[in-house]
Amino acid sequence: KAGVTQTPRYLIKTRGQQVTLSCSPISGHRSVSWYQQTPGQGLQFLFEYFSETQRNKGNFPGRFSGRQFSNSRSEMNVSTLELGDSALYLCASQGLAGSPGETQYFGPGTRLLVL
């Protein structure tokens, strides 16, 4: 089975721009979670989608949004980029039922640099 894929792998943007990141889960997985990883804050949960519905959201401003499509692929969008949004964005997919105890499998991440 192919793993979780994320595109693009690297991205450079300037302040004020917006960006869209994409995540394709493992085939058959219906839950997709997004995390932000920075040296200062570590790994922080952004949001989680299951069957096209956002089930959980972390403590991030409204500039961070996401969606999930009927094929379980997910996108996250960050509008009005700030320097502090520079980070590694990780996507994780979870098994068939999307329950908390199931292992989350991570993609390789998208490294975003905001200048």
User: What is the x/- site pattern for other proteins, positions 58-77, by CB under 8 A?
Assistant: x-------------------
Q: By CB under 8 A, tell whether 55 contacts other proteins.
A: yes
User: What is the x/- site pattern for other proteins, positions 9-48, by CB under 8 A?
Assistant: ----------------------x-x-x------xx-x--x
Residues 6+ apart with CB under 8 A from 87: 36, 37, 38, 111, 112
Q: Distance (Å, rounded) from C-alpha 105 to C-alpha 71?
A: 17
Q: C-alpha angle 79/14/34, rounded to 5°? A: 45
Please identify, using beta-carbon distances, which residue of 62 and 101 lies nearer to other proteins: 101
Task: Count the alpha carbons within 13 Å of 46 in the hemisphere toward its beta carbon.
Answer: 27
Residues at the interface with other proteins (CB under 8 A): 31, 33, 35, 42-43, 45, 48, 50, 55-56, 58, 88, 90, 92, 98-101, 103-109, 111
